[in-house]
Amino acid sequence: MLWVAALAWTHSRGAGGLARAAAGLVALLAVQVGLGGVTVLSSLAPVVVGVHLATAMAFTASLAAFATRAHRVGRAHPAPAGVQGLQRLTAAAVALAYVQILTGGFTSAFGAGLACGGLPLCRGAIVPAGPPSAVLHAVHRLLGLAVLAVVLLLAARGRRSGDALVRRGVVVAAALAIVQVALGVLNVTTRLALEVRVAHLGGAAALLAVLAALAVWLRAPGDARAPAAPRSGSRLAPPFSGHAVARLVAAASRPPVRGPVSPSSGHAAARLAADYVALTKPRIVVLLLLTTLTTMVVAGGGRPGAALTALTMLGGALAAGAANAINCYCDRDIDALMRRTRARPLPAGRIAPRGALAFGVALALAAVLVLGVGVNWLSAVLALAGIVFYVGVYTLWLKRTTPQNIVIGGAAGAIPPLVGWAAVTNQVALPAVVLFAIVFLWTPPHFWALALHRQEEYRAAGVPMLPVVAGPQETVGQMVRYTLALVAATLVLAGLGVLGRLYLVAAVALAVPFVVLVARLARRPTPQHAWTVFEYSVVYLGLLFAAMAVDRLVG
């Protein structure tokens, strides 16, 4: 943080108050360090623990706000038009979420996590007459529902915004709020299982950070001037991108690199490490790991062991990262021709091709060893098959030769549920095949929606995506068929008795917007409607698999 503050003071004095904001963050962090010492010396006194959490969350929200302000100053981005109502609603959501986190912190610190016991009422009432621990727990529950309601209202209004970052941010906030309520329920049903408590706290921090970033983004900029000592071509990552906070100030103080990174550069190691991480496409890896983890919960009938989970997640992350890194090596010529991908490390010249290939192969070998030795060899073989299929069949053959590339190649992205099932049971049973089918059927409408939105880029790069070869109408017609088949496949799990009513309700509730959005796209196949389908498809798959895990744990 001291390093960030020094760079902000050197490069951003007078630009949107970034130097003062960075100094304030350092001061807040100093307070937090002091509170950490007091927490230990007081032997974890509940009040001190609660205040320590409150300061940590204030720092998290302030850091997200700082990142967003820096992005706006670097881009001289005007405030989105017509957002006065959204500004007030977002500010209310930030305040309410922060208060909710405080009540949760004190609920935990005072040992009131199981003071109510049952669901949905607390000792037979919405708010019981006593004891104080039960009242505190009940208030925490009610505030959680209030946060959910406000965030869903914010999402409904923000989705109509003309600003893409606002639309993306409110969707992320809504998804986090829904997951938070589900984790709160799991805290009670699992009697405060450690994994659930950690996830609940992490989700609270993520939701607060997203809301704080939205609040700053929606506010009219106080100073849109460029930094006092800019360098030509400087740019900042969007506040919701995977590397935004880690690379924020470094990106603001340097131009884009057009050749291999010089080892003598002051920030060369950090930039090079970030570029190698970018080769793995972290956001895609996270979604794949979610399908693996939730499948493990379904296969194990509850929570799998911590060691097994950690090793499977590590092996899965290495395998997915390996496939993506080698894909970047193979597609560097295509990536250089598309606006969406030309800034990636290989086409931009920041990493040598041989280095990227060696990195991908090393990740693949590490994945096989971690899964084979630490989990079982069936999961290792499945992960290796996914890598080989994605690189050899999809990337090197199908992608450049047939408009059905996504359909057949989708099998590679559907491997993680098989890996998760095999990790727990050391076999591949019928439910695992159904989970494979769900991801397989989800892939065409997901990627074809992106292809419709980026149709001209794929045409310029010579990639025979279905919209380029057959046109939008034929593409959307196939999307409709695959979406209906996907919905049918999601219902099979309930029909097999693997999952119960909670999952069935969630599957139907999530499917309705998906079908409606695809039907709207069929009536009006515009790039904007295609992008909406693409964005919702990501949320749909994540929440669908999360619902599987919740159903299994509660059941």
Do 433 and 547 lie in a common domain?
Answer: yes
**Given this model, what pLDDT does residue 265 score?**
44
Q: pLDDT category, 45, cuts 50, 70, 90?
A: confident
| 115 and 205, same domain (yes or no) | yes
Among 329, 335, 387, CA closest to 358: 329
Q: Does residue 214 fall inside a structural domain? A: yes
Decide if 19 contacts 69 (C-beta within 8 A): no
pLDDT-derived band at 267 (thresholds 50, 70, 90) equals: low
Sign of torsion over alpha carbons 357, 360, 366, 368 = negative
Dist CA 431 CA 408 (whole Å) = 21
Tokens, residue 277? 């991480």
- The DSSP H or E segment spanning 367 is helix 353-374
396 shares its domain with 271: yes
Q: What is the pLDDT of residue 75?
A: 57
Residue type for position 234:
S
For 70-121, the DSSP string reads HHHHHHTPPPPSS-HHHHHHHHHHHHHHHHHHHHHHHHHHTT-TTSS-SSSS
Residue 327, phi then psi, degrees to nearest 5: -60, -40
Per DSSP, what are the bridge partners of residue 122?
A: 125
Considering Cα of 320, then 325, then 330, then 331, what sign does the dihedral take?
positive
Q: Cα(90)–Cα(84) distance, rounded to whole angstroms?
A: 10
Q: Residue 286's Cα: distance from chain center in Å?
A: 7
Same structural domain, 94 and 197: yes
Specify whether 459 is located in the same domain as 531: yes
Give the mean model confidence (pLDDT) for residues 468-478.
Answer: 90
Do 25 and 128 fall into the same domain?
no
Give pLDDT tens digits for 493-536. 888 888 888 999 999 999 999 999 999 999 998 999 999 999 99
- Same-domain check for residues 29 and 106: no
pLDDT at position 49 is 87
Looking at the fold, whether 107 and 214 belong to one and the same domain comes out as yes
Same-domain pairing of 383 and 491: no
Same domain, 452 and 339: no
Considering its fold, how many domains does the chain have in total? 4
- The pLDDT value given to residue 128: 83
270 pLDDT above the threshold of 90:
no
In a domain, 246, yes or no: yes
Q: Which domain holds residue 99?
A: 82-219
Does residue 525 contact residue 452 with C-beta atoms inside 8 Å? yes
Same domain, 382 and 501: no
409 occurs within a structural domain: no
Q: Judge whether residue 203 has pLDDT over 60.
A: yes
Instruction: List the CATH number of the domain containing 325.
Output: 1.10.357.140
Instruction: Quote the CA–CA distance of 376 and 383 in Å, as a whole number.
Output: 11
- State the pTM of this model: 0.54
CATH of the domain at 530: 1.20.120.1780
The percent of residues in the chain predicted with pLDDT above 70, rounded, is: 88
Do 44 and 103 belong to one domain? no
For residue 55, is it within any domain?
yes
**Residue 261 forms part of a structural domain:** no
Bridge partner list, 125? 122
* Boundary (domain end) residue, out of 160, 193, 219: 219
SS (H, E, C) 453-486: HCHHHHHHHCCCCHHHHHCHHHHHHHHHHHHHHH
pLDDT at 266 over 70: no
Give 64-111 pLDDT, tens digit per residue.
999 988 887 755 555 555 555 688 889 889 989 999 999 998 888 888
